[in-house]
Structure 1
Amino acid sequence: MNSKMEKLEKNVVKFEITVEENKFNEAVIKAYNKNRQKFNIPGFRKGKAPLNIIKSYYGVGVFYEDAVNFCIDDTYPEVIKENEIQPVAYPKIDIVTVEEGKDFVYTAEVTVKPEVELGNYKGVEVSKVEYPVTDEDVENELKAMQQKNARIELKEDGELVEKGDIAIIDFKGYVDDVAFEGGEGTDYSLEIGSGTFIDNFEDQLVGLKKGESKDVNVKFPEEYGKEELNGKPAKFEVTIKDIKIKELPTLDDEFAKEVSEFDTLDEVKADIRSKMEKTNEEKAKVEFEDKVVDAAVENAKIDIPEVMVKDETDQMLKELENRLKYQGLDLKSYYEYTNSSEEKVRDYMKETADKRVRTKLVMEKISEVEKVEATEEELKEKAKEMAAQYASKDLDKMADLILNAQRSILVQDVVNGKVIDLLVQSAKVVE
């Protein structure tokens, strides 16, 4: 076997590969052994007819399709390895010569991994990221705890619906006097003033009594998400079944004892602040890291093949599909609900897919230049972290299983983490 390589454009190469006649004949014999049971030739038991007899009946090329595939499967990977290229897609194969008594010749045109020209990635200037916890943040969290522990009581007959009340309602919606799908509910608990329902629906219930009904007129938002409802006026027939009122507990030390392990409200506030600060610090850390990586990526030059962006978009679509499954949905339902389509979603994802590919290539190049590697100890530690998420009784055994089954993923995680640390440590923080 011999081959010639030609660069067609920046990220595409073309090989002309020649397989010697004797090697091709061996592939024909292999194809014959694979398929001879299919042939029933007069004078021979099924599957026992010699190669030459079958060829005389069906033509010399009867086994060429499989023989060609055998040759390509044997030679193409070898050519890729010899020329040290990294394909990012399946090759486009064209047959040049396939004849009896001649060498088999074919071409393979393939898109390869692009070259990355790194720009400045050390010492990039990145603005400081901070999320300080304010007294207002703490108070809002405290109010949320207060709401969560509110007592709900029925209002007396004859009392009116007010803002802040919970109205138990039956409703049915109509557009152009026709009931629409999803516009009906029974014994629905609606907090007045929560903004749960569209337009001023909730405001129109203020002043009603238990047992009263009313036609509520509203307009759907232009971008509601359902083509048949977008921007349409609608009428809802609403009946008040009951009215409930929230009775909020007093925010004092007794409240603290009831809802937490602390004895005073001040201790609860301090705990809220501490947890918020920890969360905000982690958020700021991740955002700063993203900024540093984005700066390194922006400074690099890469001509990304379209096929890599397409493959990444495929992956993102698969991730979306998996998330939807957890919610009991599928892509078809998602497209209908968002008034979209696969084409629109792919188009929307394209920019993010391009960034993900670009970032991956830059990170790989930096790890190569800086000789960043994952040690066996680091891989074991990462495997233990993943094992802990499964709440396994035998963490060491689970970690070993993960290390064996997902080694390449662990290597990438560890190497990426070390590259990010390298970039962050050298970055210049701008106030």
Structure 2
Amino acid sequence: MNVKSVVENKEKFEVELIVEVGQEEFEAGIDKVYRKTRGSISVPGFRKGKAPRKVIEGMYGSGVFYEDAIEELYPQACQDAIQEKGLDSVAPPRVEIIDLGKEGFTFKATVTVRPVITLKQYKGLEADKVLPTITDDAVDNELKQYVDRATQLEVVDRAAEMGDSAVLDYEGFKDGVAFQGGSAKGYELALGSHTFIPGFEEQVVGMKAGDEKTIDVSFPEDYHAEDLAGKPVQFKVKCIEVKEKKVPALDDEFAKDVSEFDTLAEFKEDLKQKIVDRNMAQSEAKFRQSLLAMLCDQVDIELPEAMVDTQINRLVDNYAARLEQQGISMEMYMQYMQMDVNKMREDLKDPAVTQIKQQLVLDAVAAAENIVVSDEDVEEEVKKAAANLNVPYERVVEGLDREALKLDLARDRAMAAVAAAAKPHLITAEADNGEIKVTEVTKDEEKSEEAEEKAEEKKPAKKPRAKKAAKPAEEGEEAAPKKTTRKKTEAEKVEE
């Protein structure tokens, strides 16, 4: 392989290589193709697969193996030429054969290279950064999840009230005829949950165990069963039993039952810290997104079309892989969405351009900061991933592209450097009755906040608790009196 010439087109970020594959390499390629394909070639007088190469070339022409030999050789020759010239290729090259003969062949490879940009500014960028102020209500809402899980239902001998659970047998009728899926036995309905259609739960209130009554309701106009949508129906209902919620007392014993802490005060303090950590992580992520957007605004070049197409291909492949994990093919998804591949690629163009710009600006920062990721850094990251995923190390490294991982780590460090050098405009966000109040943080408050963060020691995390299993749906339950806000499209079902 010999690179005969190199021509650069800087405006389109393309490099044109003229590559020559000599007679010795070409001959070896032809012979390899012959050995691979001779078994499928029939020649009179020879057993199948035993005909000499010269005989086959005599029958079909001396160039019978040329095309396959070129397909065999040019990808590696092209890759070797790109590496020899130190090009950072960002898309599959366009290849054109310009000379072919028994002495070898010559091809032109048009290589799209990564644009190199210079940032006007990446240090001292200013963006809003929220410092969360956690209210007692926020902690109580977090605590409520543990209370709900610990709450038990006990059978009571009285009329059902809102907040109780009623165990029901029911059967639905439309125009006096029972409709399919409108019945259930022993269904436990939480009154006040608004899971059934409007008016049903309210009419269950007041029923005792053994009571029977007919409930008149109408299905919503957008109910998923068209023959029932908007129609008046009757449900014959029998109350089997009424259950009352037994909410545990919020005390130290409760804290011991649901956490590793000995007191309720310690448990609530831990919950508060978890909320702070969660909101701080979200705040930092949004802060970095704002900084990254500012960097991308400095990129005013027209990106190479081949580079954008390659990024779109990656997005499509990644999306197809995620669908496949859910047991859905891309073809099925397209049918549900009533979309073709061209429309999908068009929709993905803007995200692809944004991602490319983000990569370019972070690469520029990495270069300016002289960020270098070593093999040891990669190894440490792989081991950390194996530990986090709780999978064998060998499984993580299988098929791992270490150079791509190096690039990702360098970009992560570049983003961290931009954030560290930025000037955040600190604001506080306080939840108060569902409303967020935002106020500017003064310099003194900022210093005080930093001092508190340094002094604060994180407490150990609580062990996760198993969630209660959901009650399985009854067979044929789709037409039961459950509430629906509107009819879901097939596309939304696929998205779920």
User: TM bucket by the smaller chain?
Assistant: 0.7 to 0.9
Task: Identify the residue that residue 283 of structure 2 maps to in structure 1.
Answer: 284
Counterpart contact for 2:359–2:411, Cα < 8 Å: no
Summarize the Cα distance change of 1:316–1:31 in structure 2 as closer, same or farther, 3 Å threshold: closer
Give yes or no for the alignment of 1:129 onto 2:130.
Answer: yes
Task: Identify the residue that residue 356 of structure 1 maps to in structure 2.
Answer: 355
Matches within 5 A, 1:245-256: 245-256=244-255
Superimposed CA distance per residue, residues 45-80 of structure 1 (whole angstroms, 9 cap, x where no aligned partner): 655544333222112221122222234134212332
Matches within 5 A, 1:78-117: 78-98=80-100, 100=101, 104-117=105-118
Specify the SS of the correspondent of 1:87. coil
State TM-score, norm by structure 2.
0.68
Summarize the Cα distance change of 1:34–1:142 in structure 2 as closer, same or farther, 3 Å threshold: closer
Counterpart contact for 1:335–1:342, Cα < 8 Å: no
Task: Identify the residue that residue 414 of structure 2 maps to in structure 1.
Answer: 419
Matches within 5 A, 1:222-371: 233=230, 238=235, 239=237, 241-242=239-240, 243-304=242-303, 305=305, 306-318=308-320, 320-321=322-323, 324-325=325-326, 329-331=327-329, 335=333, 343=341, 350-371=349-370
Summarize the Cα distance change of 1:416–1:4 in structure 2 as closer, same or farther, 3 Å threshold: closer
Matches within 5 A, 1:188-207: 188-196=187-195, 200=198, 203=201, 205-207=203-205
Q: d(CA) in 2 for partners of 1:124 and 1:24?
A: 56
Q: d(CA) in 2 for partners of 1:400 and 1:339?
A: 39
Q: Please report how far the alpha carbon of residue 372 of structure 1 lies from its aligned counterpart in structure 2 after TM superposition.
A: 0.3
Q: Please report how far the alpha carbon of residue 134 of structure 1 lies from its aligned counterpart in structure 2 after TM superposition.
A: 0.7
Q: d(CA) in 2 for partners of 1:68 and 1:196?
A: 66
Q: Please report how far the alpha carbon of residue 341 of structure 1 lies from its aligned counterpart in structure 2 after TM superposition.
A: 5.1
Specify the SS of the correspondent of 1:89. coil
Counterpart contact for 2:194–2:201, Cα < 8 Å: no
Counterpart contact for 2:162–2:205, Cα < 8 Å: no
Summarize the Cα distance change of 1:54–1:404 in structure 2 as closer, same or farther, 3 Å threshold: closer
After superposition, the CA RMSD in angstroms is 4.2
Summarize the Cα distance change of 1:310–1:391 in structure 2 as closer, same or farther, 3 Å threshold: closer
Specify the SS of the correspondent of 1:61. coil
Point out which structure has higher relative CO (alpha carbons under 8 A, 6+ apart).
2
Specify the SS of the correspondent of 1:131. strand
Q: d(CA) in 2 for partners of 1:174 and 1:111?
A: 68
Name the stretch that deviates more: 58-67 or 377-386.
377-386
Counterpart contact for 1:117–1:302, Cα < 8 Å: no
Task: Identify the residue that residue 149 of structure 1 maps to in structure 2.
Answer: 150
What amino acid is the match of 1:308? Answer: T
Task: Select 2:55's aligned residue among 53, 56, 70.
Answer: 53
State TM-score, norm by structure 1.
0.76
Superimposed CA distance per residue, residues 208-235 of structure 1 (whole angstroms, 9 cap, x where no aligned partner): 63544435323266xx9x8x87x95466
Counterpart contact for 2:320–2:330, Cα < 8 Å: no
Q: Please report how far the alpha carbon of residue 429 of structure 1 lies from its aligned counterpart in structure 2 after TM superposition.
A: 1.1
Superimposed CA distance per residue, residues 235-277 of structure 1 (whole angstroms, 9 cap, x where no aligned partner): 6765455443223233344544544444543333223223322
Q: d(CA) in 1 for partners of 2:137 and 2:52?
A: 89
Q: Please report how far the alpha carbon of residue 423 of structure 1 lies from its aligned counterpart in structure 2 after TM superposition.
A: 0.8
Unaligned 5+ runs, structure 2: 427-496
Name the stretch that deviates more: 162-171 or 281-290.
162-171
Summarize the Cα distance change of 1:106–1:333 in structure 2 as closer, same or farther, 3 Å threshold: closer
Instruction: Work out the percentage of aligned pairs sharing the same amino acid.
Output: 29
Task: Identify the residue that residue 218 of structure 1 maps to in structure 2.
Answer: 219
Counterpart contact for 1:16–1:108, Cα < 8 Å: yes
Summarize the Cα distance change of 1:57–1:257 in structure 2 as closer, same or farther, 3 Å threshold: closer
Specify the SS of the correspondent of 2:245. strand
Specify the SS of the correspondent of 1:163. coil
Summarize the Cα distance change of 1:336–1:101 in structure 2 as closer, same or farther, 3 Å threshold: closer
Summarize the Cα distance change of 1:356–1:164 in structure 2 as closer, same or farther, 3 Å threshold: farther
Counterpart contact for 1:212–1:240, Cα < 8 Å: yes
Unaligned 5+ runs, structure 1: 393-397
Superimposed CA distance per residue, residues 157-187 of structure 1 (whole angstroms, 9 cap, x where no aligned partner): 6x24x4322244567899999978x988664
